[in-house]
Amino acid sequence: MKFMSTHTKIVATGLVFVFFSGCTWFKKKEAPSVSAVTGGPAAPGASLCSINGESVITEGEFLNNLNQMIQANPYFKGATAESLPKELQRKFFEQLTMQALIEKHSLKNNIEKDPEYIKAYNETEKLLKRSLMVQIFEKHIYDDLSIPENEMTKYFDENKSRFVKVAGGVLAMGARFENEAAANEFATKIKGDLEDFEKVAKATKSAKFRDFGRVSKEVKGMQYDAVPSPIKDAALSMSKLPGIDTVKTGGEFWVVKAWDKKDTVLFEMAEVKSHIEAILKNNKFKDVLEKRMKDLKDEFKIVVNEDYFKDKAAPAGSAGQVAANDAATQEAPKAATAA
């Protein structure tokens, strides 16, 4: 089919997304049922639309379709069907109603006997059938994986600093200067009046103020730490708080103030055990899947037409060869100039 409505494309994309989502199932403690993934029989619910007395959209079917659309659309990342505004839900429902009307009309006019429909249906069925088989195959491998307790404990012990419950460290702020003399002058000026550090730094024309927030030596999850290491080290190493220190980082000089030291609180192993297990299972899954695929290649005879994927010289005078020659001719003067 050459023509496809925008909404139909979205729904179709949603179906492909669901079937090709691969290991996204494995990120959840429990995998969704096949019905939920395929948009199959919906859970019982009130009828939201009927045509000629026959219910065509139930509440469960509506929510299933809406959730598939949300999964396929990055703009709705993290949202749920219930969290969307009712106005948006209503617009989506109108599209489903339109589809139901078209379905009724098509069935009435024997669309299932139309050659174009039959061809498209068979191709789509083959695609979805293969995709679902891949999903189930991978899910079975994942579900059979088990992570020994000692492996989870070892991972936790080696990565404790990543599991921060309450960020510790010290609060820090700084004033940046282009030369050391200006930084030292500011440090001398502010040393006896640290309470007004921010106010004085912002009023000093040669300084640029920055609030670093609370800095610590622990890695906060997978977040990028934007505080330069020399500044962080200076703030954390001050023996007397509140205090200041002058630090050079790159070609800049910073006067750093630190205060309000707090200890970092980390999660206990029991609190993040399920998360660690999921990480290790995902890592292990890749290796097991690779081995299973190697076994399958040994079990089944595979013949690949490698010649199809080899670059072949285009015949002289062909459109491809003429285009290649033109490109080479245009590049020659550039190469000569560069030489």
Round to whole Å and give the CA distance between 41 and 34.
10
Q: Are residues 171 and 137 in the same domain?
A: no
Q: Are residues 32 and 125 in the same domain?
A: yes
Radius of gyration from C-alpha coordinates of the chain:
31
Q: Kindly state whether residue 43 falls inside one of the protein's structural domains.
A: yes
Q: Kindly state whether residue 326 falls inside one of the protein's structural domains.
A: no
> Is 141 exposed, middle or buried (CB count within 10 Å of its CB: 0-12, 13-18, 19+)?
middle
- Please give the model's pTM, rounded to 2 decimal places: 0.54
Round to whole Å and give the CA distance between 143 and 164.
29
Q: Are residues 169 and 241 in the same domain?
A: yes
Q: Are residues 12 and 136 in the same domain?
A: yes
pLDDT score of 83: 86
Q: Kindly state whether residue 284 falls inside one of the protein's structural domains.
A: no
pLDDT score of 328: 52
In 3-state terms the chain splits into helix, strand, coil percentages (rounded to 5) of 60, 15, 25
pLDDT score of 198: 96
Q: Kindly state whether residue 22 falls inside one of the protein's structural domains.
A: yes
Amino acid of residue 55: S
13 vs 17, 19, 23, CA distance in Å? Answer: 6, 10, 18
SS3 label, residue 335:
helix
Number of domains in the chain: 2
Q: Of 143, 173, 208, which residue sits at a domain end?
A: 143
pLDDT score of 77: 78
pLDDT score of 313: 67
Q: Are residues 35 and 139 in the same domain?
A: yes
pLDDT score of 2: 43
Domain hosting residue 134, numbered range: 6-143
Q: Are residues 98 and 30 in the same domain?
A: yes
Written as tens digits, the pLDDT of the chain (339 aa) is 444 444 444 444 444 433 333 333 344 333 333 333 334 444 558 999 999 999 999 999 999 999 888 988 888 877 888 888 999 999 999 999 999 999 999 999 999 999 999 999 999 999 999 999 999 999 999 999 999 999 999 999 999 888 988 888 999 999 999 999 999 999 999 998 899 999 999 999 999 999 999 998 875 544 456 889 999 999 999 999 999 999 999 899 999 999 999 998 999 999 999 999 999 999 999 999 999 999 999 999 999 999 998 987 656 565 555 555 565 555 544 444 444
Q: Are residues 42 and 135 in the same domain?
A: yes
Are 165 and 265 in contact by the 8 Å Cβ rule? The answer is: yes
Q: Are residues 19 and 136 in the same domain?
A: yes
Q: How many CB atoms lie within 10 A of CB 267?
A: 16
pLDDT score of 33: 36
Q: Kindly state whether residue 335 falls inside one of the protein's structural domains.
A: no
Q: Of 266, 288, 317, which residue sits at a domain end?
A: 266
Q: Kindly state whether residue 274 falls inside one of the protein's structural domains.
A: no
pLDDT score of 327: 55
Q: Are residues 123 and 29 in the same domain?
A: yes
Q: Of 251, 266, 281, which residue sits at a domain end?
A: 266
Round to whole Å and give the CA distance between 139 and 285.
10
Ramachandran angles phi, psi of 6, nearest 5°: -60, -45
